[in-house]
Amino acid sequence: MIFKARIAVATLAAAVLITLPLPLKAQDTANRLTAMDEFQLQTATDPQISPDGKKIVYVRRFADPMTDKRYANLWAINTDGTDHRPLTTGNRSDVSPRWSPDGTRLAYLSDADGKQQLYIRWMDTGQTARITNLDQAPDAIAWSPDGKMISFSSLVPGKGPHIADLPSPPSGAKWADPPTVYDRLVYRFNGTGYLKPGYMQVFVVNAEGGAPRQVTNGNFPNGGNEFGPSRASWTPDGKYLIVSVNRHPESDHEYFDDEVYEFNVTDGSLRALTNRKGPDNSPAVSPNGKFIAYTGYDDRYQGHQTTKLYLMNRDGTGAHSLSDKLDRDVQDPQWASDGSGIYFRYDDQGDSKIGFCPPDGACKKVTDHLASTLNAGGSGTFSLSRTGMIALTYGRTDNPGDIAILNNGAMKVLTSLNEELLTQKKPGHVEEISFESSKDNRKIQGWIVHPPDFDPTKKYPLVLEIHGGPFADYGDRFDFEKQVLASRGYVVLYTNPRGSTSYGEEFSNLIHHAYPGDDFFDLNSGVDAVIAKGYIDTKNLFVTGGSGGGVLTCWTIEHTERFRAAASLYPVINWYSFALTSDIPFITKYWFPGLPWDNTDNYMQRSLTNLVAKVKTPTMVMTGEVDYRTPISEAEQFYEALKLLNVDTVLVRVPEEPHGIGRRPSHHIAKMLYIAGWFEQHKSKP
């Protein structure tokens, strides 16, 4: 029997040798995407339709290979698809276009003169004027209803804590920079670095130029915080700005407890319009000035809490939810020009959509596939005209995203930014898959990226790619990194395991105080489901993911040895040290039952150090050196642990990079090639 078994194995191996895809030659890859196409892909974002519905201005993003930086210009196109042309050009960042109420001017932000400032463009002549000359960059611009003023947010620097008066250096001496002192819970932030003392405040400036005037005051983040600026919504009479602000004394620790406030534009006097435990964000005043729509939830300190759409009277009374039946996160509420209801965006089963809610709460879907992204976890944006026409970014798995319009329910795509590239270099076909988890037979959704020229009679190596968050979702969107892996001959699987958003609050909170955990069974069942299709080389299975996906990559190889190699990108390894070094320490009350020293066992049992001795899989860990979300010390702990265990491992440190490793295009290229290279080195050879 043993002899016969050996013959059977030898025969099977011979069959596999015959059907394995041959190594890709240069002439075979000419029509495939490569990492260097980072410099060819462009994305369309922030489409702003003119009030009369005749023209769209949008932001067109690109990367320059000579400077190794990312830039953005403004482009315009008529809503009938004609006259597509640039409004700005060059290696600069032109963003946030916003039409004046009468449609004659365009406000936008630009660093054309070296630092981001507010500009106005007269659309009939193309003349531009710089409106501000600020030390701290303006952001979150909004026109007043009469078109005479523009509100914006900007940092007002503070002095910071004072401990001692330092002596001055002797004349001619060169001393080192003095120490920096911090006294706030969040003192550094990913992508921003160590925070300057002070608070974001809301200003107004005359649209024809002049000195800006500060409207808000106090040691509160009136104009936004580290997560981003707060855009004010003007009341129709132009007398008030409606802003979401956390002005609670305990704001450092109750980080999400924003309220909706009104600020008098003339004297800065304020009044709170909401008052509950939990965030009240994105206020939007109705066209008639009688109502305010906003988003939020009652904070129960859960890992994920569904963000609902709310409506209240202008004076703050009568607040109630409109979207209770939706059970999906509502974002970016925008009123229809006739006041008939509120448009918004939301994710449902891995797809970003536009929805609409009338005041009676009968919410409905308006359209699918709102996307403009190079990552399957991204989304898109939209804007409304007075005519009811909607401008949006429309994307699919084979298209990063283009500008489109929705007119009386009919979709029309106006641009084709990447058509030439993706005609020459065909992306791999993406197939949706559904399977049951081995944990509890729960239905899990996923997607398979096939290599170009895929032949189901052959055998291919498989990469399981895991999303971060963990409260996020992948979907039917274009993903450059996965396409690059597919172009190198890999089948790539990505899924939405339990904990993912866009499936309702109950599904997301299956990992509440239990992450990582049973999500492994969902991911592993996805691998089994793809293997069952018959075209996977089971000797060459690989796993990777970033952030929360990096956590689950390490968790996966602690629970199975089926993968030939793993690449864990910017993971959390030790939840105790993460709580004390990350830029989001307040999540301890959401993801854990309390502070680490009060719940040490919970933190350590869920840490990846707890089961690290089980790891046998060759593992690469990679993190940016200025990643303050999952600091590089986390990756270093896993690397050192594997070294102590004599497991094949490497540590990759990426200079100047925050979370995600994408600030510099060349670093993003290196990230993709290092993952592919690590897997290639550990492939089982026929």
Question: Residue for token digits 């099977």?
Answer: 12
CA angle 626, 472, 405 (to 5 degrees): 105
- Residue 25's pLDDT band (cuts 50, 70, 90): low
Work out the percent of the chain whose per-residue pLDDT is above 90.
Answer: 93
Q: How many CB atoms lie within 10 A of CB 98?
A: 18
Q: Do 543 and 628 sit in the same domain of this protein?
A: yes
Model confidence pTM above 0.75: yes
Range of the domain at 412: 42-130+369-421
- Residue 30's pLDDT band (cuts 50, 70, 90): confident
Q: What is the pLDDT of residue 604?
A: 96
570-622 residue pLDDT tens = 999 999 999 999 999 999 999 999 999 999 999 999 999 999 999 999 999 99
415-451 residue pLDDT tens = 999 999 999 999 999 999 999 999 999 999 999 999 9
CATH code of the domain covering residue 637: 3.40.50.1820
Last residue of a domain, one of 380, 404, 421: 421
Q: What is the pLDDT of residue 9?
A: 28
Residue 145 falls within a domain, yes or no?
no
DSSP lists the bridge partners of residue 188 as: 194
Average pLDDT over residues 289-305: 97
Q: Do 408 and 508 sit in the same domain of this protein?
A: no
- What string of DSSP letters covers 269-281? -EEE---SSS-EE
Which DSSP category does 35 fall into?
G
Q: Strands 270-272 and 280-285, how do they pair? A: unpaired
Last residue of a domain, one of 404, 421, 438: 421
DSSP lists the bridge partners of residue 293 as: 284, 311
382-421 residue pLDDT tens = 999 999 999 999 999 999 999 999 999 999 999 999 999 9
Q: Do 653 and 547 sit in the same domain of this protein?
A: yes
First-to-final CA distance of the chain: 25
Token readout for 520 is: 């492994």
Q: Do 375 and 444 sit in the same domain of this protein?
A: no
Q: What is the pLDDT of residue 94?
A: 98
Q: What is the pLDDT of residue 625?
A: 98
DSSP lists the bridge partners of residue 65 as: none
Indicate the average pLDDT of the chain: 94
507-562 residue pLDDT tens = 999 999 999 999 999 999 999 999 999 999 999 999 999 999 999 999 999 999 99
CATH code of the domain covering residue 406: 2.40.128
Phi, psi of 374 (to 5 degrees): -105, 15
Q: Do 462 and 532 sit in the same domain of this protein?
A: yes
Q: Do 564 and 505 sit in the same domain of this protein?
A: yes
Q: Do 430 and 417 sit in the same domain of this protein?
A: no
Three-state DSSP state, 511: helix
In three state form, how does the secondary structure of 296-322 look? ECCCCCCCCCCCEEEEEECCCCCCEEC
Residue 236 falls within a domain, yes or no?
no
The better pLDDT of the pair 20, 185 is held by: 185
Work out the percent of the chain whose per-residue pLDDT is above 70.
Answer: 96
Residue 202 falls within a domain, yes or no?
no
Is 123 a residue whose pLDDT tops 70?
A: yes
- Residue 28's pLDDT band (cuts 50, 70, 90): low
Q: What is the pLDDT of residue 686?
A: 74
Q: What is the pLDDT of residue 252?
A: 87
* CA dihedral for 477, 479, 482, 483, sign (positive or negative): positive
Whether residue 97 contacts residue 107, with contact meaning beta carbons closer than 8 Å, is answered with yes
In three state form, how does the secondary structure of 600-643 look? HHHHHHCCCCCCHHHCCCCEEEEEECCCCCCCHHHHHHHHHHHH
Determine the Cα–Cα distance for residues 432 and 467; give it in Å rounded to an integer: 16
- Residue 74's pLDDT band (cuts 50, 70, 90): very high
Q: Do 461 and 536 sit in the same domain of this protein?
A: yes
Q: Do 395 and 453 sit in the same domain of this protein?
A: no
Domain count across the chain: 2
Residue 509 falls within a domain, yes or no?
yes
- Residue 161 identity: P
Average pLDDT over residues 147-166: 95
Average pLDDT over residues 170-194: 94
Q: Do 493 and 529 sit in the same domain of this protein?
A: yes
Average pLDDT over residues 362-387: 95
463-518 residue pLDDT tens = 999 999 999 999 999 999 999 999 999 999 999 999 999 999 999 999 999 999 99
Residue 520 falls within a domain, yes or no?
yes
Residue 194 falls within a domain, yes or no?
no
Residue 5 falls within a domain, yes or no?
no
Average pLDDT over residues 372-387: 94
- Residue 19's pLDDT band (cuts 50, 70, 90): very low
Token readout for 194 is: 């160590």
Residue 522 falls within a domain, yes or no?
yes
